[in-house]
Homo-oligomer: A and B are copies of this chain.
């Protein structure tokens, strides 16, 4: 349980229930029980079981929610992956909210897995960005991990990422890195975004932990990788697609960050069926 996620779930329930479910409350006897299954309607990488469970539990803590598959499992179309038992009214009210969570999170995990498959044999680390749905940062970054990729920083608070405007405000790369080093915890690494070989050189000299090559083409990237050697991690960012990913992974960089892992994922098709 994560307080931020609990708040999102609360908000999701409040926005859908509002003043009450006027269909179910009026048509379904509150004590009628039933069973249901949740089914993948297309192949997907499963993510979001715990969140879905919390949704059903909010309506009635006694609802039985039994997954038959695990987070990260690749599931074929037509597969049942959760069995539910409880009050029918609860199953009907919670259905859409729970599915909306599962669809988005499994959608991201599935999308990420496709990228990962392209570079399965590479030591390069694929990471997300902060281009996530507002309110969903923790859940989306979790789904990225379920899909097999890694996380960049969670937010503005857990990693330093110095960009051109920060550099300008400090009067140069050296000064910017120095000031950051002085100010932040010894457990936080310092990354800097650069766009020329000269900036790469300055960043190395100033002792950056991670150097992000912004929108460089392949030859430029290779030149930067050679220049940096083992003095810092090298991240590339910008214009990464499924088409050039494998090539980029071969340039020797350590990390490739792709906003599309989250912002271009679409919901996968998941449905619930009352079987009782």
Contacts and interface: CB of A to CB of B under 8 A. Distances in A.
A161 interface: yes
Nearest to A13: B3
Interface stretch (A78-86, A91-99, A194-202, A219-227): A91-99
Interface string A58-76: 1100000000000000000
A135 B8 contact: yes
A106 to B, nearest CB: 12
Query: How often does this chain occur in the complex, in copies?
Result: 6
B135 A12 contact: yes
A209 B185 CA distance: 13
A180 B17 CA distance: 17
A265 B107 CA distance: 12
Contacts of A104: 133-134, 263
Interface residues of A, number: 96
A88 B156 CA distance: 15
Contacts of A235: 186
Interface string A96-114: 1101110110000000000
Interface in A131-165: 131-138, 141, 145, 150-163, 165
A210 B155 CA distance: 23
A155 B19 contact: yes
A179 interface: yes
A135 B137 contact: no
Contacts of A266: 263-266
A153 B189 contact: no
A216 B176 CA distance: 36
Given A19-B157, A157-B19, A233 B27 contact: no
A21 B100 contact: no
A20 B2 contact: yes
A247 interface: no
